[in-house]
């Protein structure tokens, strides 16, 4: 009888070593891991120190330092209000990390719940869940987010509420598809024959086996959420002044693109670098969690 494939937890030292060996074997993946690690470490330090590690107060206006080019004193230059761009880019990290984590946490949780139920139970339950998901997917994602954000008071937290409906249907469809393939395995049939309830089978057999796919997809999506959130801020329905947020910083300084390029370009580059970093890491995780690839490193 085929045995269930258990999800290897992060604290399993043997599996962790295998995963790290696979990640280290790819230069592209290591670049992504380095970018993501630096982003998460920087975010953590800013939060723990409450901004004390920043070289300047990111909100402090200085009329004597308006639009200064990058230099030793101001690595990324200053903006139109004389604020240090390096400090503001770092200060924006917690917000630009909070939104994707919150959005994807909601999307993955709701998607796993609805998708596994739809795939395992089937019938009218599946039809209802999938038709609701299709309704959300019928609208262009950015248009739906803008409509919800416009109906709410512009803020970071409301941006999360506006973005979550874009992503949860995608994870519902993904979880359903993976569930349909897993539920036909012999170990699921055996568990069912032993009288285990559907909730037990879903929690102990289906979710542990489909979660790696969900995790990889979420990692790839992290950068996309940052980009869409930045678009909301860019349009004016996301983060609001004087909040330090990369999309908002770019739009506030866009008029200086020719004369003082660093003011709008550097925050935009931060978005690009983080999005690419998570994409590269996601590709590496996909390979690392592939049983065929892991077999080559065991």
| Per-residue model confidence (pLDDT) at position 8 | 43
| 42 domain residue, yes or no | no
Distance (Å, rounded) from C-alpha 149 to C-alpha 156? 10
Whether the model pTM is above 0.75 = yes
Q: What phi and psi values does residue 78 have, to the nearest 5 degrees?
A: -130, 165
| 237 domain residue, yes or no | yes
Question: For the domain that residue 258 is a member of, what is the CATH number?
Answer: 1.10.3720.10
| 17 domain residue, yes or no | no
| Per-residue model confidence (pLDDT) at position 6 | 45
Cβ atoms of residues 280 and 28 within 8 Å: yes
**Residue holding tokens 């019928």?**
138
Q: Residue 138: give the domain boundaries.
A: 74-280
| 165 domain residue, yes or no | yes
According to DSSP, the residues that pair with 84 across neighbouring strands are 78
The pair of three-digit structure tokens given for residue 75, joined into one six-digit string: 């690595």
Distance (Å, rounded) from C-alpha 82 to C-alpha 63? 6
Cβ atoms of residues 104 and 164 within 8 Å: no
pLDDT by residue (tens digit) across 283-296?
A: 888 877 766 666 66
Q: Which residue has the higher pLDDT, 159 or 15?
A: 159
pLDDT band, very low/low/confident/very high, at 7 (cuts 50, 70, 90): very low
Q: Which residues contact 47 (CB under 8 A, 6 or more apart)?
A: 94
| 68 domain residue, yes or no | no
| 39 domain residue, yes or no | no
Cβ atoms of residues 281 and 2 within 8 Å: no
| 63 domain residue, yes or no | no
In this prediction, residues 233-246 reach a mean pLDDT of 87
Number of compact structural domains in the chain: 1
DSSP string, 99-137: HHHHHHHHHHHHHHHHHHHHHHH-HHHHHHHHHHHHHHH
| 257 domain residue, yes or no | yes
pLDDT by residue (tens digit) across 47-106?
A: 999 999 999 999 999 989 999 999 999 999 999 999 999 999 999 999 999 999 999 999
Q: Which of 60-74, 120-134, 144-158, 163-177 has the lowest mean pLDDT?
A: 144-158
Q: Which one of 187-201, 226-240, 257-271 scores highest in mean pLDDT?
A: 257-271
pLDDT band, very low/low/confident/very high, at 298 (cuts 50, 70, 90): low
**Residue holding tokens 């690419």?**
276
According to DSSP, the residues that pair with 78 across neighbouring strands are 84
């Amino acid at each position: 009888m085929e045995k269930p494939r258990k999800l290897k937890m992060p604290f399993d030292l043997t599996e962790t070593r295998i995963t790290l060996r696979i990640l280290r074997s790819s230069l592209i993946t290591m670049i992504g891991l380095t970018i993501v690690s630096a982003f998460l470490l920087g975010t953590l330090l800013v939060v723990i120190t409450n901004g004390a590690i920043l070289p300047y107060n990111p909100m402090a206006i200085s009329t004597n330092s308006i639009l200064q080019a990058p230099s030793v004193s101001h690595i990324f230059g200053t903006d139109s209000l004389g604020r240090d761009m390096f400090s503001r880019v770092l200060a924006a990290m917690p917000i630009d990390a909070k939104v994707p984590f919150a959005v994807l946490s909601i999307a993955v949780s709701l998607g796993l719940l609805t998708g596994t139920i739809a795939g395992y139970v089937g019938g009218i339950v599946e039809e209802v869940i999938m038709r609701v998901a299709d309704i959300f997917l019928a609208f262009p994602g950015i248009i739906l987010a803008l409509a919800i954000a416009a109906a709410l008071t512009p803020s970071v937290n409301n941006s999360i509420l506006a973005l979550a409906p874009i992503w949860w249907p995608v994870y519902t469809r993904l979880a359903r598809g993976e569930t349909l393939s897993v539920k036909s395995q012999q170990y699921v049939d055996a568990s069912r024959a032993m009288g285990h309830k559907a909730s037990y089978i879903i929690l102990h057999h289906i979710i542990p086996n489909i979660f790696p796919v969900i995790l990889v997809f979420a990692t790839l999506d992290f950068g996309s959420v940052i980009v869409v959130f930045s678009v909301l801020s860019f349009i004016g329905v996301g983060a609001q002044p004087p909040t330090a947020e990369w999309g908002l910083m770019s739009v506030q300084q866009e008029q200086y693109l020719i004369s003082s390029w660093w003011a709008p370009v550097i925050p935009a580059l931060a978005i690009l670098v983080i999005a690419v970093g998570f994409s590269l890491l996601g590709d590496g995780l996909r390979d690392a969690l592939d049983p065929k690839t892991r077999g080559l490193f065991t």
